[in-house]
Chain A
């Protein structure tokens, strides 16, 4: 079983709309990361949010972290076709440097 897992297999929106990808995790964490993987490429980090942070922004992206419910969300506003990708949340096991990735959410942004 995964330490962190996205709550949806797939989402689709039209360009310009907003979308939120949700992630739940199983243990106490020091930080949670959001990555995006486009076809034929490796994952690229979008946001790293630490356990003492509740919200973090990066342009059109906003990540939240709720340690009480052990959940995180990644919101994208004003979506573009190029936001089409698989979105992963990831976190390391306690005492480890390796990142454990969720199964990912395929986001499709339609024209």
Chain B
């Protein structure tokens, strides 16, 4: 079990460019979560999927951010027209979650730096 895999580990983009972050959840887990972590804001919930369906995107900035889960083996977080304030560590987590919130298994994150 390789755990949750996030790629790339580091990404540097120029202001205005697009960034796509990838997450492979643990096989058999039905829930996938995206979080953003910064020194100032801490761990912020962005969005989550259950059985590939988007359930709650209340933490997603309304513009420029989108997330998808086209199949049960991967999810993507896309940021269009990146801005310096988007610089953060983006963490993906998965969970068995058959009955409700349970243990989240996090990947090591993607550190996004917007110049």
Q: Mark A66-101, 1 if CB is under 8 A from B, else 0.
A: 000000000000000000000010001000111111
Q: Tell me the complex Cα distance, A88–B45, Å.
A: 14
User: Which secondary structure dominates where chain B touches chain A?
Assistant: strand
User: Which secondary structure dominates where chain A touches chain B?
Assistant: loop
How many contacting A-B pairs (Cβ < 8 A)? 59
Residues of B within 8 A of A (CB): 4, 31, 33, 35, 42-43, 45, 48, 50, 55-56, 58-59, 91, 93, 95, 97, 100-109
| B104–A45 touching, CB < 8 Å | yes
B54 to chain A, nearest CB (A): 12
Q: Tell me the complex Cα distance, A31–B33, Å.
A: 18
Which residues from chain A contact B104 at a C-beta distance below 8 Å? 43, 45, 99
